[in-house]
C-alpha cells in the first residue's frame, strides 16, 4: 500500500534551492528547464503544511520554504500585486490564486511562520480581483496589470476557490470570526449555484465552461478535449471533488445560525457522487474512470488520471464517514486496490499521473508525477472526522 511517509519523501525532492518547488518527472526528479509554476509551489506548500500538523519530521521546514517562495520570490508580483502563473507567464489566474490562499490557510493552521501574512494578502487579492459578489462566483483570469479580464468563466477555479475559502475560514475562525463567516457564506453561494443549480438541472452532468455572463458553453474545447485544466465535456473527477466539498461545507456550517435547512448539501453530494460512479466506472469497458465523458455519458478522453481516482476514493471515504453507510467504504476499498495495482509506482512511492485504459503509463495530458496534492489528501482524509478543511480534521 502507498505509504504517506514515502510519498512525502518523494515530494520533498521537488524542493528547489533557489526557492519553491519544481515539477517532478517520471523518475522523481525535478524537470530541469521548466518554469517554476505557482500552482505547484502552492500545492506542495499546502501538502507540507498538512504533514507538519501531525509532526512529520522535516515537513515544517519545507512548508516554511514554500511560504518564503510565495512571499518573497519572483512569483509574487510586488509591482501590481498578486501572483504570476509561473516564472514564464505573467497572467493572474483564479485557479492559481485559489491555491495560494490554500497554502496560506494551511500554513496558518499549522503555525508556519509567515503563513498568516501570506493568507491575508492572498485573501485580499481574491476578494478584490476575483470574487464577483453579484454572481456569487469567481472570475477567471487577468493580465499582469489587472487591466484586461478574460471573457471565459470556469467552474474548476471556483471549485478550488470553495476549497480555499473553507480552509481559510477554519484558519482564521479563532481570530477573525467575521471573515470566517463571510468566507463560508461565499463558499455556500458558489456551491449552491454550481451543484444545486447547474449540476442538478442537468441530471448531475456538470457543465464546466461559461461565457462572461455565466451562460454554459457545452461545446467548449471540443477540438482540445484532453486539456489539463479546461477539458471538453463532463469531468468525472470534478464531480467527485464537488461531492466531497459539499460535505466539507456542510460540516463547516453545522450548528451555525442562519444555516438551517441545508440538507440539500448531503442529498446533492450523494446524487453527484452516484452519477459519477455509475456513469464513469469502466465506461469504455476497461476498469477505471475515463478523464471525461460527453453529454450522453460516452467516453471522450479515455486516459485514466491518478487525480480522478484519488478524488473518487476521498469522496467515498467522506461519504462513508458522514452517512455511516458501508457501501461507500467498500467502494473506497475497491478503488484503492485498483489504484495500488495500476497507478502505484514502487520506484518513487507516488502514483503515475496518467495511464492508458489498459494500464500503461500515458502522457497525453500529464507527463511525470508533478506533485503530491491529490494523493496526499486522499491518504490523510481516510478515517478522519469531516471538517471544513483537511487541516481542521488533522488538528
> How many angstroms from the chain centroid is the CA of residue 195?
16
Helix (H) / strand (E) element for 209: namely: strand 209-210
What pLDDT does residue 258 have? 55
The string of pLDDT tens digits covering residues 127-151 is: 999 999 999 999 999 999 999 999 9
The alpha helices in the chain, defined as continuous H runs, are: 4-12, 38-52, 59-72, 94-109, 115-125, 155-172, 177-191, 200-201, 236-253, 264-280, 306-323, 326-342, 373-381, 390-394
Neighbours of 195 (CB within 10 A): 27
What pLDDT does residue 263 have? 87
What pLDDT does residue 262 have? 79
Which residues partner with 24 through β-bridges?
30
Question: Sorting pLDDT into bands at 50, 70 and 90, what band is 8?
Answer: very high
- The three cell numbers locating residue 376: 496526499
Across the chain, mean pLDDT equals 97
Whether the Cβ atoms of residue 14 and residue 44 lie closer than 8 Å to each other: yes
Question: Sorting pLDDT into bands at 50, 70 and 90, what band is 33?
Answer: very high
286, HSE (Cβ side, Cα atoms, 13 Å): 14
The string of pLDDT tens digits covering residues 177-225 is: 999 999 999 999 999 999 999 999 999 999 999 999 999 999 999 999 9
Question: Sorting pLDDT into bands at 50, 70 and 90, what band is 259?
Answer: low
Helix (H) / strand (E) element for 105: namely: helix 94-109
CA nearest neighbour of 310 among 367, 380, 360: 380
The string of pLDDT tens digits covering residues 205-215 is: 999 999 999 99
Rounded to whole angstroms, the Cα distance separating 132 from 306 reads 32
Q: What mean pLDDT is predicted for residues 252-277?
A: 86
Whether the Cβ atoms of residue 30 and residue 10 lie closer than 8 Å to each other: no
Helix (H) / strand (E) element for 292: namely: strand 292-293
- What is the CATH code for 4-394? 1.50.10.10
The string of pLDDT tens digits covering residues 58-117 is: 999 999 999 999 999 999 999 999 999 999 999 999 999 999 999 999 999 999 999 999
- Whether the per-residue pLDDT at 6 is higher than 60: the answer is yes
- Taking CA atoms, 222 is separated from 19, 202, 215, in Å, by 38, 19, 17
Domain extents in the chain: 4-394
* pTM of the predicted model over 0.95: yes
Q: DSSP code of 192?
A: I
Any idea which residue has 438551517 for its cell? 260
Rounded to whole angstroms, the Cα distance separating 194 from 33 reads 38
- Whether the per-residue pLDDT at 46 is higher than 90: the answer is yes
Q: Which residues are known to be catalytic?
A: 238, 374
Any idea which residue has 504570476 for its cell? 84
- Whether the per-residue pLDDT at 261 is higher than 60: the answer is no
What pLDDT does residue 232 have? 98
The string of pLDDT tens digits covering residues 229-248 is: 999 999 999 999 999 999 99
Nearby residues of 259 by Cβ (< 8 Å), 6 or more positions away: 188, 253
Amino acid at each position: 500500500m502507498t505509504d504517506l511517509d514515502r510519498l512525502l519523501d518523494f515530494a520533498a525532492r521537488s524542493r528547489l534551492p533557489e526557492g519553491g518547488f519544481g515539477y517532478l518527472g517520471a523518475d522523481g526528479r525535478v524537470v530541469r528547464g521548466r518554469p517554476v509554476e505557482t500552482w505547484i509551489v502552492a500545492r506542495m506548500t499546502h501538502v507540507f503544511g498538512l504533514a507538519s500538523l501531525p509532526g512529520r519530521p522535516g515537513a515544517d521546514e519545507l512548508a516554511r520554504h514554500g511560504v518564503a517562495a510565495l512571499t518573497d520570490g519572483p512569483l509574487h508580483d510586488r509591482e501590481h500585486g498578486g501572483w504570476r502563473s509561473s516564472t514564464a507567464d505573467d497572467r493572474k489566474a483564479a485557479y492559481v490564486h485559489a491555491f495560494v490562499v490554500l497554502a496560506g490557510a494551511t500554513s496558518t493552521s499549522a503555525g508556519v511562520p509567515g503563513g498568516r501574512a501570506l493568507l491575508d494578502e492572498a485573501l485580499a487579492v481574491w476578494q478584490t480581483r476575483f470574487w464577483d459578489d453579484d454572481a456569487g462566483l469567481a472570475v477567471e483570469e487577468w493580465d499582469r496589470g489587472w487591466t484586461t479580464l478574460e471573457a471565459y468563466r470556469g467552474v474548476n477555479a471556483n471549485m478550488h476557490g470553495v476549497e480555499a475559502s473553507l480552509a481559510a475560514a477554519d484558519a482564521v475562525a479563532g481570530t477573525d470570526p467575521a471573515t470566517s463567516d463571510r468566507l463560508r457564506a461565499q463558499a455556500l453561494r458558489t456551491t449552491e449555484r454550481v451543484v444545486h443549480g447547474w449540476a442538478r438541472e442537468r441530471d448531475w452532468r456538470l457543465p464546466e465552461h461559461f461565457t462572461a455572463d455565466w451562460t454554459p458553453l457545452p461545446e467548449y474545447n471540443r477540438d482540445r478535449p484532453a486539456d489539463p485544466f479546461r477539458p471538453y465535456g463532463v469531468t468525472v473527477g470534478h464531480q467527485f471533488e464537488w461531492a466531497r466539498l459539499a460535505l466539507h461545507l456542510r460540516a463547516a456550517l453545522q450548528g451555525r445560525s442562519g444555516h438551517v435547512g441545508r440538507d440539500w448539501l448531503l442529498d446533492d453530494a450523494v446524487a453527484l457522487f452516484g452519477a459519477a460512479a455509475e456513469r464513469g466506472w469502466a465506461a469504455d469497458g476497461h476498469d477505471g474512470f475515463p478523464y471525461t465523458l460527453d453529454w450522453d455519458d460516452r467516453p471522450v478522453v479515455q486516459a485514466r488520471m491518478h487525480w480522478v481516482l484519488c478524488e473518487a476514493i476521498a469522496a467515498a471515504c467522506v461519504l462513508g464517514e458522514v452517512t455511516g453507510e458501508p457501501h461507500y467504504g467498500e467502494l473506497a476499498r475497491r478503488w484503492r486496490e485498483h489504484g495500488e495495482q495500476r497507478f502505484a509506482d514502487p520506484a518513487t512511492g507516488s502514483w503515475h499521473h496518467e495511464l492508458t485504459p489498459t494500464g500503461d503509463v500515458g502522457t497525453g495530458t500529464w507527463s511525470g508525477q508533478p506533485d503530491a496534492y491529490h494523493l496526499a489528501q486522499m491518504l490523510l482524509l481516510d478515517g478522519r472526522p469531516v471538517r471544513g478543511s483537511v487541516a481542521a480534521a488533522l488538528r
